[in-house]
A and B are shown apart, each in its own frame.
Chain A
């Protein structure tokens, strides 16, 4: 049976953590002396009180976290965090509609970055900061953070870790899961700090630099400006953001290797090779087409715009410096396809993940070989090791379910009256945790016009995408609830 009490206990603990981050935003609001400060205090109080009660009521619960509990906890945490995380937006009337507030919060935590806000600059600093920090928390993962700071979760931590960290087989940096989580968060914090300094030095205000660093490292894409990064017409700032988006979309295990001085590990990593190669190749193509078609006038601009958009979409960040929908039509299609690729396994990016796509393509290619040599043993190799058939099957199932969900969701969107472009764009961007889509939800517009039902539905897609489908979908399968 499901150990409900331990689930509630963990929820309680984590709500207290969320409350603490609200207090941090309250400090920012207080610093700017704006009207939203009391609302942060109220929200924090609600979080900490609810969390405290759950915690105290269940602190004697048996601390056994099995597979079931792991999946339930991870999914629940993300839902609960979004429901409580919307309080500052909703209470302060920064976002008066409950549905909108939930959509904005879920889009934040899942690092999607799709917004319903029409005038971002009008919002107080506290709210903008909260918008960025929820992305930052969601980027590396709420569970990973809690594993790093709450020793209580030591038992069964592996179950939770596997359910949250993206990629088919999560890497460990240290024998103990808590230490792995600490290292991951350590790297994450260091990167965020470095980027903040660079952006600040590049001419952003400190506040904007912090917020943008939060959302870059999380591959989230919330900006403090309505025009997104296009607001900053500085090549330096844009290149800094390109680099950090790229790093955030790579496997953090590789960053750890780099920090430890083991560079060999990086250039031997197959996924990284494909990731880098793919980004460079597509950017080069886009740059050439952009320049030749006359969409931009200088070579540097063509390179910068193409790199920025390509990296932003493939890492599922979703910042915009240009509207790819007004580019040459082929490029819009290329951009759309990038939405499905996603970052690397073990990164903060969403999407299907480079590793899965490589395994899928290799397997498909070997299938041809297998037709000619029916008795040959042809393993799919990755990182010069044979991938077990279990992992291959898992990858195939993942992609099939992913595409199935995209297909069905498109129909649901079209029922609400959207055309093909908008339907597929909205669905692909939400399940891939990217941000901007196509058509009426493209980079130049937002999701404000989507009906309430559509917002709830898209929020759900974001959650499914962030937790890599199985974790959430499993809860809806009869196998999960059967004893």
Chain B
């Protein structure tokens, strides 16, 4: 697939790398030659120095023959303009990044389509949504819902206190009469393992389970996580994500938002309804104590600075906050932050990238999600009529080694798969795949 990415910012660069690794033909346009040279030297893609809104430059990138045009320049106006031009010049599908919620409203979708922008992405909005989901259940590193939560993927840190620790997957399966969850992957010391029955759970493993809402309780029990309801939330940083999160949470939780900039605080206080906006430095322990950090159930650090977010979360944990969420934009810190025990990590780039990724998969895919702490991806495929995956029980099919099938949604009913499960056409199948396995499994579904 030929993909043009306009704008080599954080999201653009990350998407470009990802698409390159997935063997797509990638052309990256940006007006900053320096930045492009860096990427060009390390990745197998073509770079073009030019303006993303120049017809001449877009033509030079051969936009008429591209299958997917992704506009992620720094400004929303530029992004929409660029996508419109690309569409008119012959790009098949265009995606533009925006940061205005209005544009996403369903009634405006058709309007943008007519203009030539097929899809809009709003990374901050997606990030806020993810934070909200993560607060619903504590003790969880990452949670992804499929088909309105009928199937759920949980990423859980296994500690010494978990009943399943030092047991193999097969032994764990024998603990219960009914199979309520599937272990699809284990992330150990930075490497992702697709586990088989003889794999043992170890202390400090980040295990990924696929389960149904009914099975969630068992997952929590087996991994030794105590449940409690979140009531009080403190948000650090009134960034776009911070604001979005506050808006989404304020009806359900008691929300306090700390912002260092006075003008920004005033504006936030104006837009947010019941959130208490506090002007001050969130790194100041006295201030945090004054604002009752000890009574908080959750602490969400979403300032523009990844280091501050990680440290503030550490501080909050020390003060007894049980759930911490940190926005970490620096990819190299993710592993580190994961290891020092920050509850949930949010990365805008990964979120946007996984959203875009869906458009590059040929088989019918209804959902794609990249995991924050692992290079793997979780995809929800729709099994096509006559596709290879429907040709027998899972244990009889030769599934790629780097892929694990977790669950199936068949006419609204969630099923946790076993080797005996047979997939029938139109099933929605949740698959956990390493990057090397995506192409292989994709073929089985189309």
Give the B-binding residues of A (Cβ under 8 A). 67, 154-155, 157-159, 162, 172, 174-179, 388
Residues of B within 8 A of A176 (CB): 25, 44-45
Residues of A within 8 A of B41 (CB): 67, 158-159, 162
Residue among A67, A175, A176, A177 facing the most chain B CB atoms (10 A cut-off) = A175
A-B contact pairs, 6 of them (CB 8 A): A154-B44, A157-B44, A158-B44, A174-B25, A175-B27, A177-B44
Q: Is B40 an interface residue (CB 8 A)?
A: yes
Q: Is B257 an interface residue (CB 8 A)?
A: no
Contact B46–A172 (Cβ < 8 Å): yes
Q: Is B240 an interface residue (CB 8 A)?
A: no
Contact B33–A388 (Cβ < 8 Å): yes
Q: A154 CA to B40 CA in the complex, in Å?
A: 14
Contact A158–B43 (Cβ < 8 Å): yes
Q: A158 CA to B42 CA in the complex, in Å?
A: 7
When C-beta atoms are compared, the residue in chain B nearest to A155 turns out to be B44
A interface footprint on B282-298 (CB within 8 Å = 1, 0 otherwise): 00000000000000000
Do most interface residues of chain A lie in helix, strand or loop, or is the interface mixed? Answer: helix
Residues of A within 8 A of B2 (CB): 175
Of A157, A159, A175, the contact of B46 (CB 8 Å cutoff) = A175
Chain B min CB distance to A389 (Å): 11
A interface footprint on B395-422 (CB within 8 Å = 1, 0 otherwise): 0000000000000000000000000000
A interface footprint on B28-41 (CB within 8 Å = 1, 0 otherwise): 00000100000011
3 smallest CB-CB distances across A and B, nearest first, come from A175-B46, A175-B25, A172-B46
Q: Is B26 an interface residue (CB 8 A)?
A: yes
When C-beta atoms are compared, the residue in chain B nearest to A162 turns out to be B41
Chain B min CB distance to A442 (Å): 43
Contact A179–B25 (Cβ < 8 Å): yes
Residues of A within 8 A of B27 (CB): 175
Residues of B within 8 A of A157 (CB): 44
* A-contacting residues, B374-398, CB 8 Å: none
Residues of B within 8 A of A177 (CB): 44
When C-beta atoms are compared, the residue in chain A nearest to B19 turns out to be A175
Q: A67 CA to B41 CA in the complex, in Å?
A: 9
Residue among A174, A176, A177 facing the most chain B CB atoms (10 A cut-off) = A176
Residues of B within 8 A of A158 (CB): 40-44
Q: A162-B41, A176-B44, A179-B25 are in contact. List 4 more A-B contacts (CB 8 A).
A: A158-B41, A172-B46, A175-B27, A176-B25
When C-beta atoms are compared, the residue in chain A nearest to B34 turns out to be A388
When C-beta atoms are compared, the residue in chain B nearest to A159 turns out to be B41
Residues of B within 8 A of A155 (CB): 44
Q: A317 CA to B94 CA in the complex, in Å?
A: 48
Chain B min CB distance to A79 (Å): 24
Q: A459 CA to B164 CA in the complex, in Å?
A: 67
* A-contacting residues, B28-70, CB 8 Å: 33, 40-46
Q: A67 CA to B45 CA in the complex, in Å?
A: 17
Residues of B within 8 A of A67 (CB): 41
Residues of B within 8 A of A174 (CB): 25, 46
Residues of B within 8 A of A162 (CB): 41
Q: A162 CA to B42 CA in the complex, in Å?
A: 11
Q: A290 CA to B42 CA in the complex, in Å?
A: 52
Residue among B25, B27, B41, B46 facing the most chain A CB atoms (10 A cut-off) = B46
A interface footprint on B267-287 (CB within 8 Å = 1, 0 otherwise): 000000000000000000000
Residues of A within 8 A of B25 (CB): 174-176, 179
Residue among B2, B44, B45 facing the most chain A CB atoms (10 A cut-off) = B44
Q: A172 CA to B27 CA in the complex, in Å?
A: 11
Q: A271 CA to B44 CA in the complex, in Å?
A: 26
When C-beta atoms are compared, the residue in chain A nearest to B27 turns out to be A175
When C-beta atoms are compared, the residue in chain B nearest to A180 turns out to be B46
When C-beta atoms are compared, the residue in chain A nearest to B41 turns out to be A158
Chain A min CB distance to B365 (Å): 23
Contact B45–A175 (Cβ < 8 Å): yes
When C-beta atoms are compared, the residue in chain A nearest to B4 turns out to be A175
Q: A174 CA to B25 CA in the complex, in Å?
A: 8
Q: A388 CA to B26 CA in the complex, in Å?
A: 24
Residues of B within 8 A of A159 (CB): 41
* A-contacting residues, B173-229, CB 8 Å: none
Chain B min CB distance to A74 (Å): 15
Chain A min CB distance to B147 (Å): 36
Q: A159 CA to B42 CA in the complex, in Å?
A: 8
Chain A min CB distance to B344 (Å): 31
Q: A176 CA to B3 CA in the complex, in Å?
A: 12
When C-beta atoms are compared, the residue in chain B nearest to A67 turns out to be B41
Q: A132 CA to B90 CA in the complex, in Å?
A: 46
Residues of A within 8 A of B44 (CB): 154-155, 157-158, 175-178
Chain A min CB distance to B55 (Å): 16
Q: A389 CA to B44 CA in the complex, in Å?
A: 25
Q: A172 CA to B60 CA in the complex, in Å?
A: 13
Q: A67 CA to B26 CA in the complex, in Å?
A: 22
Chain A min CB distance to B57 (Å): 12
Q: A172 CA to B2 CA in the complex, in Å?
A: 15
Residues of B within 8 A of A388 (CB): 33
Q: A158 CA to B43 CA in the complex, in Å?
A: 7
Residues of A within 8 A of B26 (CB): 175
Residues of A within 8 A of B43 (CB): 158
Residues of B within 8 A of A154 (CB): 44
When C-beta atoms are compared, the residue in chain B nearest to A265 turns out to be B60
Chain A min CB distance to B65 (Å): 11
Q: A39 CA to B288 CA in the complex, in Å?
A: 83
Residues of B within 8 A of A178 (CB): 44
Residues of A within 8 A of B40 (CB): 158
Q: A90 CA to B14 CA in the complex, in Å?
A: 53
* A-contacting residues, B302-348, CB 8 Å: none
Q: A467 CA to B44 CA in the complex, in Å?
A: 22
Chain A min CB distance to B62 (Å): 10
Q: A16 CA to B41 CA in the complex, in Å?
A: 28
Chain A min CB distance to B8 (Å): 14
Chain B min CB distance to A175 (Å): 4
Chain A min CB distance to B3 (Å): 8
Chain B min CB distance to A246 (Å): 27
Q: A478 CA to B33 CA in the complex, in Å?
A: 29
Residues of A within 8 A of B46 (CB): 172, 174-175
Residues of A within 8 A of B33 (CB): 388
Q: A159 CA to B26 CA in the complex, in Å?
A: 17
Chain B min CB distance to A151 (Å): 10
Q: A201 CA to B41 CA in the complex, in Å?
A: 45
When C-beta atoms are compared, the residue in chain A nearest to B24 turns out to be A175
Q: A159 CA to B25 CA in the complex, in Å?
A: 18
Q: A162 CA to B37 CA in the complex, in Å?
A: 12
When C-beta atoms are compared, the residue in chain B nearest to A177 turns out to be B44
Chain A min CB distance to B69 (Å): 14
When C-beta atoms are compared, the residue in chain A nearest to B46 turns out to be A175
